[in-house]
Structure 1
Amino acid sequence: MSLEGYSILIPTHNYNVTTLVQTLVSQTSKIDTKIEIIVYEDGSSLFLSENASVENTANVTYIHKTKNIGRAGARQFLAEKAVFQWLLFLDADVMPVSENFISTYIATLQTENHKVICGGLAYEEEVPENNKRLRWYYGRDREAVSLEKRNKRNYFIVSGNLLVEKNTFFAANTNFENQYGLDILFGSRLKKLNIPLLHINNPVYHLGLDDNKTFLRKSLKAVESTLYFEQKGLIDDDQRALQKSYLRLKQVGGTSIFNFMLKKLKPIMERNFLSGKPNLFWFDLYRLQYYIELKKKHNA
């Protein structure tokens, strides 16, 4: 294993990564540093021939596995395959905002002594079609946050654009279950290991927007994962804003009345989430109500 260089690692599932790889190759070709790109096809059935074509490019490796092992497992596999000590994880459905995306990370490492660097996330200005607006509004409001806000929420992880030292990654990436909401778990592990994060302004656009129904379903799955990780002692019970809201309600004895009232409003809320003008405050309440029901169901 070589230390002097960078491994760009891209797990993909049913998404065309050719444009992303071409963009990265264009940027790395101008840099006098050893860089490899590895694309891992995680049980996909779509875009196989398109994605396989990237291996015809120098320093790009394409690996196709027929069994889907999920995000955490795919990243673990990629980290094990990586030649270099520094790993840049990118989601398949992102695109660098800056033409100096790669060089910015390299320059940062030359001046900063950190093992984890978060570049951040951005969303395009153009409003998408109605059936993808819930994901777009949520992303722009909750994920594409300023550098100042990210620094205040230091262990706020967006792993779709993350530079991490290999041994640090292995120490923090300890759960390979195929679940949603794993970024929270990764951030919690880094915090428990007392590994500081450096947030910088080097974002990627998140392009692959789920439709409203899919994102709503995934959001509730992420709530389930939160309780699951909490019960297993993998995250604190006050790590997410959702958990903190629950604890405040519980402190004043308001969980039952809140749950009762929100149940009646759920059909109205769900219609709103699938509309062209989703209300994110309602979305927070909706997920909180689901979390309360799960806590009650599991006597947590």
Structure 2
Amino acid sequence: MLSILIPTYNTDITDLVQSICEQARRAKITFEVIFCEDASYLYIEKNVQLLGNTNVKRLINATNLGRTATRTNLAHNATYSWLLFLDADVALPSISFIENYVSHLNSSHDIIHGGISYAIDNNDDFTLRSTYGTQRETQLAKKRCKTPYFVISQNILVKKEAFLKLNIIASNRYGLDNIFSYQILKQGYGVQHIDNPVIHHGLEKNDVFLKKSIQAIETLIYYEEKGLMAQDFTRLQKSYLTLKKNKVVLIFKVIISKSLKYIEKNLMGKKPSLFLFDLYRLHHYITLKENA
């Protein structure tokens, strides 16, 4: 028995939900699909057509709560003890996607992470997000197991009881996967990584992704200050602590400050460097921590 939950905002999810239902029926399981319109104003009428399927239910947020709070709302309304969270802007690359998860419903682990993949996109407006996704987020389970607590929540199977304890943040912020991942470690839940990815289609333009990356750093520092996030959990934090240990934080900041325009030009270009992207984010992390 499985509850498949989709937070959505201004997204046509008809193809995704139809694929899910077809696969779930083939898997011969008891299931429900619940989607929550997070104060959407586009594609409402199209998505409503899905309610002709008795397995599909809809929730509506009167105001935009964001993905994290919407997931909590979905979880509370779910019937079954296993929850499969999928983002609205993904597609299922495999006809056995649901069956692959069903085979893990008797797992001793509390969380099953299937991973994520990206379709090739040669549009110059999306090169930064596409490069980051394909080089950093697209990883086989074997590699993800080396840092098991890091999950991308676009595609996770999780026990309802565990999720409600882990998803403790209700604010509408970007970058909350780091907080969720840290809570997995802190609360001692087990994660099993498998190769069962979705395809992420909803890419942000270069400038939007860069802005959101800075917002994610603000989120990280905010929850550090709140005591809900360790200061040495992410790669970014560890890089800062290395600079601090070697007493070169100021030197690093001065050097990168002089190169910011060049770095931003590269990140907006056809071949963005993730090395420069890391330096750019580290510079902002240092600056924001100084002002925290």
TM tier, shorter chain? over 0.9
Tell me the equivalent position of 1:121.
Answer: 116
Among residues 162, 166, 169, which one is paired with 1:175 in the alignment? 169
1:41 maps to which of 34, 37, 47: 37
Deviation at residue 48 of structure 1 after TM alignment: 1.4
Question: Which residue of 283, 289, 296 corresponds with 2:283?
Answer: 289
8 Å Cα contact 2:82-2:105 kept in structure 1: no
Cα deviation code 1:91-134 (max 9, x no counterpart): 00111221101111111223x3111110000111x233000111
CA offset at residue 50 of structure 1?
1.5
1:227 matched to which residue of 2?
Answer: 221
Amino acid at match of 2:240: Y
Q: What is the rounded CA distance, in whole Å, between the counterparts of 1:286 and 1:256 in structure 2? A: 15
Equivalent pair of 2:4/2:85 in contact (CA under 8 Å): yes
- Give the alignment's Cα RMSD to 1 decimal: 1.0
1:198 aligns to what SS in structure 2?
strand
1:107-164 deviations in whole A, cap 9, x for unaligned?
1223x3111110000111x233000111010011111112122000110111100000
1:6 is matched by which residue type in structure 2? Answer: L
Structure 1 residue 286 displacement after superposition: 0.1
- Give the aligned residue type for 1:139: G
Tell me the secondary structure at the aligned position of residue 259 of structure 1.
Answer: helix
Shift of 1:63: 2.1
Alpha carbons 2:113, 2:151 under 8 Å: kept: yes
Q: How many Å separate the matches in 2 of 1:128 and 1:160?
A: 23
Match of 2:68 among 52, 72, 77: 72
Tell me what 2:128 maps to.
Answer: 134
What is the match of residue 161 of structure 1? 155
Measured after TM superposition, the shift of residue 196 of structure 1 is 1.0
Equivalent positions of 1:178-189 (< 5 A) are 178-189=172-183
Could you tell which deviates more after superposition, 264-273 or 237-246? 264-273
Equivalent residue in structure 1 for 2:261, among 262, 267, 270:
267
In structure 2, what residue type is equivalent to 1:12? T
How many residues were matched structurally? 292
Which residue does 1:196 correspond to in 2? 190
Asked if residue 31 in structure 1 is aligned to residue 60 in structure 2, the reply is no
- Aligned residue among 6, 13, 33 for 1:10: 6
* Structure 2 match to 1:277: 271
Q: State how far apart, in whole Å, the 1-side matches of 2:61 and 2:72 are.
A: 14
How far, CA to CA, are the matches of 1:225 and 1:109 in structure 2? 33
Q: TM-score, normalised by structure 1?
A: 0.95
Distance of 1:107 and 1:238 partners within structure 2: 35
Q: Percent identity?
A: 41
Equivalent in 139, 144, 153 of residue 145 of structure 1: 139
Alignment-derived partner of residue 87 in structure 2 = 91
- The unaligned stretches of length 5 or more in structure 2 are none
**Which consecutive aligned stretches of 4+ in structure 1 deviate over 6 angstroms post-superposition?**
none
2:264 aligned counterpart, secondary structure:
helix
The equivalent residue for 2:98 is: 102
The 3-state SS of whatever aligns with 2:232 is coil
SS of equivalent to 2:91? strand
What amino acid does structure 2 have at the position aligned with 1:284? D
**Cα distance per residue 1:1-57 (max 9 Å; x no partner):** xxxx10000001111111111111111121221100011000112211112221122
Distance 2:79 2:173 in 1: 28
- Pair 1:213 & 2:203 matched: no
